[in-house]
């Protein structure tokens, strides 16, 4: 259940990374379709990362002589990670929810005071969550797996930005 929660949070993070990478790169007014595609790209990215992590986890388990201990250790690490990731995700979702209010001041305030800073601290939250999980784990395999996932998750936004940037450059080159 805890690993599933982490997986769902990874998908949410991927969705938001996809959105952020696409913002400021499409000058149309109506772009629900554009943002939907960007979100799906982010989810796919997070899914690829999750699949890679799962493959590594299964391989580790397959060759491990202490499978039950590994599973218990992963659960403990995941619980600790959730203590960091869940409040962060809740804060992001709460502020996104505030944007449903019909007040331009409240909506833009969520960008300036909350979503902007929350975006800025995302890498720190990732690192903090993983380190907190690692601090509670006892097995090297769990720690290495957590670090592997951290590297992948931090690379996700970079990769999505790189892809979106290239697509934008190509589009602009055709215009001038």
Partner 1 sequence: MFPAWNPAQPEITDLIVQHDPHTHERLPVRKQELLEVFHRFNNRQALRAVHSLPEKAGVLDDRGIDALLLTVHWEMQRLAEEFYHGHRVWQLLRCVLASIRQAGIRETLRVADVGCGTGYTTRWLAANIPLADYNIELLGMDLNSVLIAEANRLASAERLPCQFFQQDAFSPEHSSHIFLSTGVIHHFRGPALLEFLRRHDQPDVQAFLHFDFQPWFLAPFGSWFFHYLRMRTAIARHDGVLSAARAHDARTLTEAARATAPRFAAGIYGAKIWNTPAPRVFHSLIGLRRNLVPELRRQLGRHATRLGELR
Using DSSP, state whether 101 is helix, strand or coil. coil
Neighbouring C-beta atoms of residue 133, cutoff 10 Å: 27
Candidates 27-35, 38-46, 62-70, 86-94; binding stretch for partner 1 (CB under 8 A) = 27-35
32 binds partner 1 (CB under 8 A): no
Q: How far is the CB of 122 from partner 1 (least distance, A)?
A: 11
Chain positions 110 to 129 lying near partner 1, rule: CB under 8 A, are 111-112, 116-117, 119-120
Q: How far apart are CA 176 and CA 173, in angstroms?
A: 6
Residue 36 interacting with partner 1 (CB under 8 A): no
**Taking Cα atoms as reference points, which of 144, 1, 151 lies closest to residue 70?**
144
Q: Which of residues 27, 63, 65, 68 is near partner 1 by CB under 8 A?
A: 27
Q: Residue 68 or residue 173: which is nearer to partner 1 going by CB?
A: 173
Distance of closest approach, residue 171 Cβ to partner 1, in angstroms: 9
Are 138 and 71 in contact by the 8 Å Cβ rule? The answer is no
- Look at residues 158, 148, 162 and name the one whose alpha carbon lies nearest to residue 122: 158
Instruction: Give the footprint of partner 1 on residues 94-113 (CB under 8 A).
Output: 104-105, 107-108, 111-112
Residue tagged 């772009």 (tokens): 31
- C-alpha to C-alpha distances, 100 to 95, 104, 117, 119, nearest whole angstrom: 9, 10, 20, 20
Residues making contact with partner 1 (CB under 8 A): 23-30, 104-105, 107-108, 111-112, 116-117, 119-120, 165, 168-169, 172-173, 175-176
């Amino acid at each position: 259940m805890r690993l599933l929660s982490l997986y769902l949070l990874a998908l949410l993070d991927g969705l938001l990374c996809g959105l952020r990478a696409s913002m400021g790169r499409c000058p149309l007014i109506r772009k629900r379709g554009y943002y939907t595609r960007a979100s799906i790209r982010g989810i796919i990215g997070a899914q690829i990362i999750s699949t890679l992590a799962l493959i590594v986890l299964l391989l580790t388990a397959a060759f491990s002589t202490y499978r039950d201990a590994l599973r218990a250790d992963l659960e403990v690490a995941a619980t600790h990670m959730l203590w960091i990731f869940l409040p962060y995700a809740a804060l992001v979702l709460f502020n996104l929810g505030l944007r449903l209010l019909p007040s331009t001041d409240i909506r833009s305030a969520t960008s300036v005071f909350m979503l902007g800073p929350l975006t800025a601290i995302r890498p720190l939250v990732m690192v903090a969550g993983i380190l907190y999980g690692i601090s509670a784990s006892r097995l090297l395999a769990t720690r290495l797996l957590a670090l592997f996932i951290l590297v992948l998750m931090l690379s996700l936004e970079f990769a999505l930005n790189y892809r979106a940037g290239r697509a934008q450059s190509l589009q602009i080159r055709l215009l001038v």
